[in-house]
Amino acid sequence: MTDPSHFVEIRHAQKSFGALEVLKDISLTVERGQIVGIIGSSGSGKSTLLRAINDLDPLTGGEVWLDGVQVNQKLSHRKYEKHINQMRQQVGMVFQHFNLFPHMTARENVTMAPLMLKGISKEEANTLAKEQLDKVGMLERIDYYPSQLSGGQKQRVAIARALAMKPKLMLFDEATSALDPELVEEVNLVMRKLAEEHMTMIIVTHEMDFAASVCDRVLFMDQGVVVEEGPPDVLFRNPTQPRTREFLRKHLEGAK
Amino acid sequence: MLKVYPFFLEAAWITILLAVLTAVLGLICGALGAAARLSRFAFLRFLGAAYVSVIRGTPALIQLFILYFGGPQIGIQLDAFEAGVIGLGVNAGAYMTETIRGAIISIDKGQREASRTLGLSQWQTMYKVILPQSARLMVRPLGVNINALIKATALVAAISVVELTYTAQRYIGSTYKPFEMFLLAGVLYMIIIYVTGRGVAWLDRKVQIT
Amino acid sequence: MGLGFTIIPKYLDVILLGCAWTIGITLAAAILSFIGGILFAVIALYAPWLIRQPFRLIEWLFMGTPLLLQLFLIYFGLVQIGIDLPAFVAGIIGLGLHFAVYNSELIQTAILSVDKGQMEAARTLGLSRTEALRKVVVPQAVRAVIPPIGNNMIALLKDSALVSVIGVSELTLSAQRVIGRTYRPFEFYLMAAACYYVINLAMEWLQRKIERRISISR
């Protein structure tokens, strides 16, 4: 197989848990600066695909390439650990349930990994924390613990934590699904800002409006396959597949 | 080595006897303590709380010493075994008070209200509704108390009751084989604890079914 | 012989010195039991099978036998293998190990109950498993076990009385020595009990304070 020419390249991704096949031969490419949305009902495999990109849920078959390097290499345990930590430092991830470290302040959450892994100084870390927290509008809460923050604020700190590693790629796994409706917009705003800065992003979401307005391309997944993909105005307005139409109809009804 | 076995077995019986008597006394003290702590009368509540706080706040060893060595000064003459049972029983009772009380207050308030709206008296409510439910919750934590109590019986070695630990100490001194003596006594303790644990588990299953 | 508490002030210095020893021994054993507890917990959860199994056996032995018996083993056992430690050191080691085993149980449960998302988040940042354990999982587990470990430490204070039996001049043995001179066991044991009770209250107060402090960072 030739070396990949795309920034992110997923080739024939396959994943099963026992007899259950959650990803069935999925191939996907993402270019630098692109924003790709993945939609689909729960159990469609969209989160599993996203988590395969940094090998959090290793694939049973297929390859994931990032910027010319294969992520899911078969290596000895020791070598794999070294390799994957290297890869993960280049990929930021934002979780549905934030997963902020509750025993650290916002500042410490943001600076812990850069301090440990990039060998930056205390002052540099401080500047970095201020810079990143300012970007997500959380500078004034820099010394707060997660337990003192609202859901939206937690998620913004979690985004700052991921950004502090200066990732090439950001993965969002239903970043606003666990939030109260009135807190969703503050997180979306931060993501829009990243889009304006041409951050490469893959966004798993159930918010059709947001996906439509921010993504360059949207994929609809169902039962472990990509049913349809295209620019948002095409996919949302004129879906060609019956399954896509069905999903969108249900979802738009639900939204009203 | 062989010569010491009979002495250890005899000592194990003393430990078992101590543990059984202590557990019985502990349960009585625990039930009374819990009743006092949940009483309508402030004075009884205070007495119950003071009992728990003072006994749990000081070493059992000191309590034994006060009873055994200090007792005669205030007219209480006990032999070492009696002092051991009473001292350890009263001590265990303080821990059991909290276990029993905890199980009773964890029963939903709605149960009490439902019972009272049916016209049952406070005592009838306690007896017919609350206690049967909390008894189920008590078995396991009381088992933990009893496990601790079995190990605490070793303390009476310090007032020269010839039980397992005292025997082990004596033979460590005379045989210079600390590890062997420790293992011998240790295994006997663990058998006692294991059998008791199985008994508690059996009882726990039984109360869960009914 | 009746009671007479007026004799107490005469020996107050001996008793207070005993208190100081009791506090010192409790503190030293507490630190040992805390560090040991973390170490034992990590071994029990993550060490290879060959290390884990004999370790389990030791843990089992320590939880199934009385502390007093263990103190005899450590004190006389160490002498047996040629290590002649002062009694108070043997006492600290015995108390420390005994409570390390109990702390380890608590810490193991706490480590296992730290949300799996925490490990994932740390791993996605590029931390290795060991780094994630050290920086993210273990600190959270430690916070979660501080209240129950506090209870263990209060139990440790009371169990420190047992080291009097192997000849450590802490509070209990100090009281005993005074009694040997005065023949007034009731008064002086009661005095010792009062001292323990006060230290115990102070520890409970401290425990509540620490709990409030950490509740925010959990």
pLDDT tens series, chain B, 210 aa: 667 888 888 889 999 999 999 999 999 999 999 999 988 899 999 999 999 999 999 999 999 999 999 888 888 889 999 999 999 999 999 999 999 999 988 887 777 777 776 667 777 778 777 888 888 889 999 999 999 999 999 999 989 888 898 898 888 878 878 888 888 888 899 999 999 999 999 998 888 766
In this predicted structure, what is the pLDDT of residue B21?
96
Interacting residues of A86 by C-beta distance below 8 A, sequence separation 6+:
C126
ipTM > 0.90 (yes/no): no
Beta strands in A18-146 (DSSP E): 20-30, 35-39, 61-66, 69-70, 91-94
CB A117 within 8 A of CB A101: no
At A255 the pLDDT is 56
Q: Please give the backbone phi and psi of residue A104, each rounded to the nearest 5 degrees, phi first.
A: -125, 150
pLDDT on residue B7: 86
CATH architecture of C5-213: Orthogonal Bundle (1.10)
pLDDT tens per residue across span C50-81: 888 888 888 888 888 999 988 888 888 887 78
Query: Is residue A58 over pLDDT 70?
Result: yes
pLDDT > 60? residue A256:
no
CATH code of the domain occupying B2-207: 1.10.3720.10
Q: Residue A29 in contact with residue A221, Cβ under 8 Å?
A: no
Do B115 and B129 meet the contact criterion of CB atoms below 8 Å apart? yes
Pairing of strands A200-204, A69-70: unpaired
- Residues A62-76 have a mean pLDDT of 93
Instruction: Say whether pLDDT at A184 is over 70.
Output: yes
Q: Which chain C residue has the Cα nearest residue A113?
A: C125
Judged by CB atoms closer than 8 Å, whether chains meet at C72 and B66 is answered as no
Question: pLDDT category, C194, cuts 50, 70, 90?
Answer: very high
Q: CA B200 to CA B145: how far, in whole Å?
A: 11
* Planar angle of CA C35, C40, C46, nearest 5 degrees: 125
Q: pLDDT tens digits for C106-156?
A: 999 998 888 889 999 999 999 998 899 889 998 898 888 888 889 999 999
Q: Do chains B and C touch (3 or more CB pairs under 8 A)?
A: yes
pLDDT for position C104 = 92
Tell me the pLDDT of chain C averaged across its residues. 89
Instruction: Give the global pTM.
Output: 0.78
CA distances from C193 to A21, A254, B76, C157, C172 (A): 67, 69, 19, 12, 9
Q: Reply yes or no on whether the pLDDT at A2 is more than 70.
A: no
Burial C167-201 (b: 16+ CB within 10 A, else e): ebbbbbbbbbbbbeeeebbbbbbbbbbebbbebbe
What are the sequence ranges of the domains in chain C?
Answer: 5-213
Closest Cα in chain C to A94: C121
On whether the CB atoms of residues A15 and A5 are closer than 8 A, the answer is: no
Tell me what percent of the residues of chain C surpass a pLDDT of 70.
99
Residue-level pLDDT at A33 = 93
| Cβ contact C185–B190 (<8 Å) | no
Angle B158-B164-B170 (CA atoms, 0-180°, nearest 5)? 65
The mean predicted confidence, pLDDT, of chain A is: 92
Provide the 8-state DSSP code for A251: H
- pLDDT tens digits for range A137-151: 999 999 999 999 999
- Nearest-CA neighbor of A143 among A133, A152, A131? A133
* Closest CA–CA distance from residue B76 to any residue of chain C (Å): 11
> Residue C176: CB partners within 8 Å, gap ≥ 6?
B65, C164
Between CA A229 and CA A220 the distance in angstroms is 6
Q: Tell me the torsion sign for CA atoms B166, B170, B175, B177.
A: positive
- Mutation target vs A (from C124, C136, C214, C216; most A CBs, 10 A cutoff): C124
Predicted local distance difference test score (pLDDT) of residue B122: 74
Cβ-based contacts of C193 with chain B (< 8 Å):
58-59, 62-63, 66
pLDDT score recorded for residue B1: 62
Rounded to 5°, angle at Cα C147 from C145 and C149: 65
Contact B153/C66, CB-based, under 8 Å? yes
Selected for mutation to probe chain C from A80, A93, A101 (highest C CB count within 10 Å) is: A101
Structural element, H or E, at residue A169: strand A169-173
C165 chain-B contacts, CB cut-off 8 A: 157-158
- Cβ atoms C37, C100 nearer than 8 A: yes
Is a pLDDT exceeding 90 seen at residue A160?
yes
Considering only the beta carbons, identify the residue of A147, A148, A165 that sits closest to C126: A165
Minimum CA–CA partner of A171 in chain C: C124
Cα→Cα distances C126→A48, A136, A204, Å: 19, 22, 21
Contact state of A165 with C120 under an 8 Å Cβ cutoff: no
User: How far is residue C21's CA from residue C27's CA, in Å, rounded to a whole number?
Assistant: 10
State percent of chain A over pLDDT 90. 78
Domain extent listing, chain B:
2-207
DSSP B72: G
Per CB distance under 8 Å, which residues of A are interface residues toward C? 54, 56, 81, 85-89, 91-93, 95, 97, 99-105, 112-113, 116-117, 145, 147-148, 158, 161-162, 165
Measuring CA to CA, how many Å separate B169 from each of A157, C59, C68? 60, 22, 10
CA–CA gap between residue C8 and residue A212 (Å, rounded): 84
Cβ neighbours for A96, distance < 8 A, ≥ 6 positions apart: A173, A174, A175, A177, A178
Residue A95 has pLDDT above 90, yes or no: yes
Q: What is the pLDDT of residue C214?
A: 83
pLDDT above 80: residue C1: no
CB < 8 Å to C73, chain B: 178-179, 182
Query: H-helix or E-strand containing A139?
Result: none
Burial class (CB within 10 angstroms; exposed 0-12, middle 13-18, buried 19+) of A178: middle
Structure tokens at A9: 């390249």
Digit-coded pLDDT (tens) for A99-118 = 888 888 999 999 998 998 88
Which residues, in sequence order, are CB contacts of A240 under 8 Å at separation 6+? A228
